[in-house]
Chains A and B, each alone.
Chain A
Amino acid sequence: MASEAFLVGRVGETWIGLHAEFIEAVVPLGDIVPVPHAPPAVRGLVAVRSRLLTLIDSAVVAGCALDMPSALMVIVSIDGHAYGLTLDQADDVVTFDVLHAVPAALANGWQALADQMADHDGRVVLIVSPARLVAAAQTTLSIAA
């Protein structure tokens, strides 16, 4: 576990570590084609290098309000489907020596996404599994105020 690599990035004010094994690339967001009647966490469809991705707004899933829409996305592949997960900032791919259990109840949607955390340069990073984030996107009901 400790040798596993994570992509450290920021969603709103929160730093997260995404399991790197699922991640194919981090790219800037381009054109988004909306999907009418999609769950609120689905921002739409994007085409990246001739692939079709379903773009998931990580901030909506986590339930945190953003001043401006995220400009980056992480491309992940889960169960044969490609998704883009929005990110406000991507920092680095790192390995953590120790993962701690999250000691407190997390706010908003974070509770369903993370149960471990780590220290990265003095910052607390929530460990988030992309598969869980994607699964949670389907059930996220309303857009955060």
Chain B
Amino acid sequence: MDDLLREFVGETLDMMEEVSSDLVTWEANPTDRGSLDRIFRTVHTAKGSSGFFDLPRVSAIAHAAENVLDVLRSRKRDPDGKSVAAILSAFDQIRMLVQSIAATGSEPVGDDSALVAALADNVRLHDRAVVAEEVAGDSSDSIARQGVSPIVPLEWRSVRVPLALLDEVMAGFSDLVLARNEVALQLRARGVDLDNMAAFERFYALLGGLRGSISQMRMVPLRQMFAPMPRLLRQLCDELGKKATLETYGGEVEIDREVIEALRDPIVHILRNAIGHGVENEAARADCGKSAEARISIGARQSGNRILISIEDDGSGLNEAALIERVVAAGHYSHDQALALSGAQVTNLIFLPGLSTASSVTDISGRGVGMDVVKANVEKLGGTVGIENRPGQGMSVIIDVPMTLTIISALAIEVGGQGFAIPRSVVDEVVLVSNDAVQLIDAGGAQMVRVRGRMHALVHLEALLGQQTRFVESEDRALILCRLTGSRSFALSVPDIRDHDELVIKPLPPMLASIGLYNGFSLPDSGRPMLVLDIEGIAKHAAVERSGVDSTEQVDENMEHGRGNMDRWLCFTPWGRKTMSAVPMSTVDRLVDVAHDQLQLTAGRIVACINGQLTCVESDDFAIPQEGSVRMICVSLGDHTSLIPCRDIAHLAPLTMQLPAPDRDSIVVGLAMHDNNLVEMIDVSHMMNRPSAASRSRGGGATTKASSEVTKKRRANG
């Protein structure tokens, strides 16, 4: 395909995309003159440009459509449903042809005579006289005849620039800023007083302005992404026999082109979900007293350098019971675990892979590519996805993404004479330790902090960076409350916050990226390289998070029962084993003696029924005895309660982890020595959150053993 044709394809598709929202406006309100004019210009330009190439089909359709629009524009008659439909199909056909040209380099062979005839009919039906005139003369002159300038209006003036060139300019500018910093540094070193040097001040101002313009070059209004949505919605509704109207707002909000590209698919997917799963059919809507037409809105607003995009529907909302069922069926959680989840945790289950709450697989959605992919795509951009579920009332999906990817606004922190940066986008709040709202809590050997009633795990930056091992919180330190994906958070304790800076971020070489603590570096005005901290990476490193579904509560718990801290542990010998184990005393509820007939094997795990209450028994080596009772430790974390069968309870002891567990997935968090005995320290939270025994390879043996026990027991009972 030669350059000219490529240009034509790009320009035509762009124009059609831009005008598609006008089509919808015009469809809803055929008297909207502004939209009609823009539609006309698009068709006119397409017709004109296609004339340069050998594209007879595009030319013919554009020509016929132009005639219809011209009649409507010149107010020779009022538009009606038929003419709107004809124009829409003409647009569809042109788009299809152009896309095919883009793919193959030439116009596909085909027959559009029916469409052209329909368009011509449209004109003829309503204005025979005009048609006669058009047919006689060359209709393309009709504009000139009416004295309307065929020149593309001013607002359309733009040039197409390859994205690579834009990136090059951006990179060049970044280097320019760095070079400026270097110059400033060297001048200062020579004793030049830059603060009073007008020329240098001007230099700074100019560069600042240039930075704005260059960032702007990468920005496109969200309108561009919203534009095709109304048509997509209409198609979806037609396919599914549902009715919905789409409302968009915030189309003027501008966002990095790269971000928009990456968001397009996730948003289309969410929209499909909303129509496919969320919106009820008309009868069901009538039953709930809702309007026949569902209302769907896509909107955006800017918040600092973040863009919040929300997709809302007034459908049935997320069916939490069905979701839990799917999650259990997919093996992500046991039934008990799933039932114990709190509201936000349940909603977030939608992000687990391989789920769909639709009862049938449709063309629209339910193909197994779900919200997990949406979430992954958004997170790749440094964004987050949140769900607000209003059962029976509808659902909102809120996507929070950075406006741009190359320049970030960041907090600069000084640690041990070295600067680090934290992107503002992940910072919820900065508080001083001395603030009255801050309450430091030392529990279970781990430090936490409560800020206005909300608990956060506390991570010391120096300890994390290996500069100090033991740490005492002091009054003059600052806490940065960092937001993680989902609703999780933690507090990063830092000695001092130096300032706030706009940083040009450079990607890290693989050997530094693989550390997992940083996601870029930057050279600020000081000329000292600065690493950008990766908050998610830090959370992982500090073991703030652990399992698939995380919440603030759980973060706190994990810290409380964190790795390697001094704590009082209950040592015991587990059932069927010789090695001692220990659980943190803070998790121990009580000791119970469970009679053999209170135990049951069900769905691959053993449960105990005590006073009408069912509790899971956690052990790979346990089998239900035929008689007598078993002493068990009842441990609880939040809403979860489990029983650990044991042979022998030893005592309480302060334990210090000497070796971490070799296997991260093991429920043993580490090894300690007590009275010359090896003790395995158990991570209670992990033990409760692991999959049921049936799905573990080692548990398979135990299950068989246990079921044979049950069989024996039944036989004995019988």
Contacts and interface: CB of A to CB of B under 8 A. Distances in A.
Given A36-B467, A50-B178, A52-B521, A42 B512 contact: yes
B521 A37 contact: no
A52 B523 CA distance: 7
B531 A45 contact: yes
B174 to A, nearest CB: 10
A86 interface: no
B546 to A, nearest CB: 20
B465 A50 contact: no
Interface in B439-496: 464-467
Nearest to B517: A37
A50 B529 contact: no
Interface stretch (B223-231, B503-511, B672-680): B503-511
Contacts of A94: none
A70 interface: no
Contact of A50 (B175, B419, B467): B175
Given A34-B418, A36-B467, A52 B506 contact: yes
Given A33-B418, A36-B466, A52-B523, A45 B529 contact: yes
Interface in B408-464: 418-419, 464
B528 interface: yes
B521 A38 contact: no
A38 B529 contact: no
Nearest to A80: B507
B511 A38 contact: yes
Contacts of B467: 36
A137 B673 CA distance: 37
A49 B181 CA distance: 10
A120 B528 CA distance: 39
Interface string A76-101: 00010101000000000000000000
Given A36-B467, A47-B529, A81 B509 contact: yes
A49 to B, nearest CB: 6
Interface in A39-72: 39, 42, 45-47, 49-52, 54
A45 B517 contact: no
A142 to B, nearest CB: 15
Contacts of B507: 81
Contacts of B179: 49-50
A141 interface: no
B144 interface: no
A132 to B, nearest CB: 14
A51 B171 CA distance: 12
A36 B529 contact: no
B517 A36 contact: yes
A113 to B, nearest CB: 16
A40 to B, nearest CB: 11
B514 interface: yes
Given A36-B467, A52-B506, A52-B529, A47 B514 contact: no
B511 A47 contact: no
A35 interface: yes
> A interface, how many residues as a size bin?
20 to 34
Contacts of A50: 175, 178-179, 181-182, 523
B541 to A, nearest CB: 8
Given A34-B418, A45-B521, A52-B521, A138 B514 contact: yes
A121 interface: no
Scoring B419, B466, B510, B512 by chain A CB atoms within 10 A of each residue's CB, the highest score goes to B512
Nearest to B176: A50
A47 B521 CA distance: 11
> B interface, how many residues as a size bin?
20 to 34
B466 A37 contact: yes
A31 interface: yes
A35 B527 contact: no
B197 interface: no
B528 A38 contact: no
A37 B529 CA distance: 16
Nearest to A78: B509
Contacts of B531: 33, 35, 45
Nearest to B464: A36
A137 B523 contact: no
Scoring A31, A35, A49, A138 by chain B CB atoms within 10 A of each residue's CB, the highest score goes to A35
A33 B515 CA distance: 16
Scoring B178, B510, B527, B529 by chain A CB atoms within 10 A of each residue's CB, the highest score goes to B529
B410 to A, nearest CB: 16
Nearest to B521: A52
Contacts of B522: 52
Contacts of B181: 50
B515 A47 contact: no
Contacts of B418: 33-34
Contacts of B528: 31, 33, 47
Contacts of A54: 509, 511-512
Nearest to B529: A45
B143 to A, nearest CB: 51
A90 to B, nearest CB: 23
A34 B179 CA distance: 22
Nearest to B462: A36
B167 to A, nearest CB: 12
Contacts of A81: 507-510
Given A49-B182, A50-B179, A37 B511 contact: no
A91 B643 CA distance: 71
B404 to A, nearest CB: 20
Interface in B227-280: none
Nearest to A32: B529
Contacts of A79: 509
A36 B523 contact: no
Contacts of B465: 36-37
Contacts of A42: 511-512
Nearest to B514: A138
A47 B181 CA distance: 11
8 nearest interchain CB pairs?
A50-B178, A45-B529, A36-B465, A81-B509, A138-B511, A50-B182, A50-B179, A33-B529
24 contacts: A33-B531, A35-B515, A36-B466, A37-B517, A42-B511, A45-B529, A46-B529, A47-B523, A47-B529, A50-B175, A50-B182, A51-B523, A52-B506, A52-B522, A52-B523, A54-B509, A54-B511, A79-B509, A81-B507, A81-B509, A83-B509, A134-B509, A137-B511, A138-B514
Interface of A: 31, 33-39, 42, 45-47, 49-52, 54, 79, 81, 83, 134, 137-138
